[in-house]
Each structure stands twice: as structure tokens, then as C-alpha cells.
Structure 1
């Protein structure tokens, strides 16, 4: 009999009711939550924090990639409404400046011949943009 009880504890019944989310019972809509208030990923998914833009898997992927600011505390992933809103906000485009590209050639006839600044390849431009955005080498390799 004890062996059966320990097996049930290790393998819960898949037909059992899901764990109650007490905080969601107190605040059932997304409007009830403040922008800075921490939500577990499960709570955020139940509240449809992205408004249908991301599925549960997509939200988890965005958090794992660092596209949505999060914190892991006690084995749970926590996010805020503000972090999700900032993740979906338009980002300014990164401009890459090449040293000497704007320099005007010298007017002096005795001046050495000036060469135009080298153009960056598309791959190199992407790498520089990713580096300036703080991406890792592993993630850079995936783009090339």
C-alpha cells in the first residue's frame, strides 16, 4: 500500500484539477494588475498579457532569449506588464558610423590620394549591430 502511495506522489494523476492560482482569483483581469507588479509566467499566460501576440511557448521563448526582462526567483520566472510593453515598443535603428566616411577630400593638389572608406559587408554590418546591442557570440553565429 505504501509503494502505491509513493508512486502516486511521484506521478500525479493527469486528470487531476490544475493547481489553483490564488492571486488570479483576487485579480482576474489584466487591468487589476499594476505595471510594476510581478507576475509569474503562468499568471501572465493565463491573463494573456501579450493580447494574443504571443502564445505561451512564444512568451517563454522571448523570456529565455532575454527579449522580455524577467527574474527567476524560487524556480519561477517573474515578469511585469511594463517589461512586456517595453519588449513590444519600437526600437531605434542602430546606425553604424565608419571612420572617415564623412571626411571631405583635401583641396590641396599636393595632398596624397584619398581612398574612400571601405564598405562593410552585410554580414559584418549585422555583427556590429548585434554586438552594439549586447548580443552574445553564440547568438551572433546563428545570424551568419
Structure 2
């Protein structure tokens, strides 16, 4: 499993505690999920394109919060219940005896890692602005 830890969220949480404590968690969840969506886009762009099933199977999924952890995962759907079963993604990523590795997730992560602080700021501003706009419309009714 590949994990990325984002630092600097504490400062944003502090701002929310003072300005808008009610909406803080929702905006932070949306921000983290927005970053997962960017990683998903990058992975889809780099995925092998034999039949298109693999790129369709790459999804960003929110996880339930537990112990104040905000988390979103980028997964590849596989199994009987999957709409696009791409069980073979790991064969491309890590290779097999007969198939050389053709990684697409790790290069996507490396590409995103370099611009993560800017992406975090952009996603935060985008989600915060949208939340403020929703609140403004709600109050104007």
C-alpha cells in the first residue's frame, strides 16, 4: 500500500477553529479528496491502454473518519462486484516472471509529490470558496 502524508493541515485546522468550526471538517475532507482526485487523474493518464478497463477502474474513494483522521484513497476496482474488473493492475505495476514491470501508480505519485504544497493550497482555496458561496446562497434565501 502506498501512502502520502500531507503536512500543514494543522495550521488550516487552527484557522477553521477560529473562523468556521462547523464547516472545518467538511472542507478538509473535500480538500483531501480533491488531492486524491488529482492523483487519480495522473494515474489514469499513465495507465496502460490495452482495452481501457484499467483506466476506468482507477477511482478516488473517501474513507470514513476515525480518530480525527481525514482520508481518501486512490484504488483500482477489482473483484466480482467491480464494474470494471482490473485485477491485473499489479501485474503491470510490479511485473511478473514473463511481463516486465510498467509502473503507472508510482510515477504518478512522484509527479504529484513535487507540486503537493501548491496543489493543497489550490484545492483548499477552491473548496473553501465553494463552501462560502453555498453558505452565502443559503443565507440569502
Shorter-chain TM-score bucket reads: under 0.3
TM-score, length-normalised on structure 1?
0.21
- Higher RCO, 1 or 2 (CA under 8 Å, sep at least 6)? 2
TM-score, length-normalised on structure 2?
0.21
